[in-house]
Structure 1
């Protein structure tokens, strides 16, 4: 048991730390209606990793480069004739294909592709936790700084403009936080599942909350439950840790949805 704990405990703590940022950020993603953008950015992390390995750069730098490319590309291809969600879906699948192509054809990372796609928290050890904690704290501090403006833009953009809030600048700030989260969440749940870790706790909390603060608190609790059950469950049934975490969060969402519908019928 002690040997297992030495392997699982760092992963469990790392996932719990990550949940501190994913929960409030996921709430903002829902409020700002940017779930498709988050998904596209998450898929872009795979291309960022591929470019970083190919160019022999730090992994985070590769992800930042791709994030900037995604934002610039979306500005360039913006067209009122095209639905935004459809454009983002095309961007997401294109980034995923390019990322897989780069990793498998231009680098020697073929054996690690599954880990990049679905994550592997169990590879983290105690030495990795301080850097992760610092990254999450920086993310939380910046999120706290932009939170009032983001909340106003999410609830009433016209009023926010009157109050002097610049929507474009705040959108870029928010995209920056999302890009940073994708970079640090890649090892936890992988490129394919980052958006699930972001959106599912917030979506579940939305079913039962009546105020923004309540939704954030409930999302935090749900994220921690999902990480705990996912990490320990992945070891128990021997599957990818990221898959297990997102699967648990999905089960919690559907259970909450069914329960809420049942209670509505009873009322």
Structure 2
């Protein structure tokens, strides 16, 4: 098993491409010869990345500055992707909030649902008919270890990632034998750069360096897993522990412990 062969007309799509895992996924795919469509809100960051990837790897890179939490903007992008030859889709865009959901901005929480869950669904449905017709394609969805269990003080994020996790693994079974690969990426903490001690977030302070994984290593592991049509890839020790806890630990016991940790994260970010 392998990924679709890159062609002049096909494109690999990466959402949330302007930073972190998204940038690393785009770079990994460009290194493997894929021309790209990069999606995120920040035009200047996408343009700089596009220029860098074209210069370094000789691939074509298109930029789409789209707020995927906006249904109208998302519908336009989905319509375009439905008409294009999309060989790889990396549904990576997502954000998190911390704290009791009743105390958070309701509008932002709704946007989070649109971005983390509905956009994953919409873009997957846009590219899937073409992949099935070609009997070739690959879909990677960035879920989360947090989607495996209840996470008080991170409720909306955990719920949207539960959707992403379950949708992806369900879809994979539906597509068995079609030539379309589907893999769930469910990472724990991912560090995109070494934090300045003076500016380190509460997350950086709470979690030791040994539990972090880099976005570059996550991207390589994920694309390798997608090529093998592996169901789930869980980089990092924290992600693996949370995956096991989600499957075996009694939720009445795990929820209070995890909720206490995430309450501290919320207090530190406030």
TM-score in same-fold range (> 0.5): no
Sort the TM-score into its range (normalised by shorter chain). under 0.3
Question: What TM-score, normalized by structure 1, do the two folds share?
Answer: 0.27
- Please state which structure has a larger fraction of its residues in helix: 1
Question: What TM-score, normalized by structure 2, do the two folds share?
Answer: 0.27
Q: Which has the higher contact order (CA 8 A, sep 6+)?
A: 1
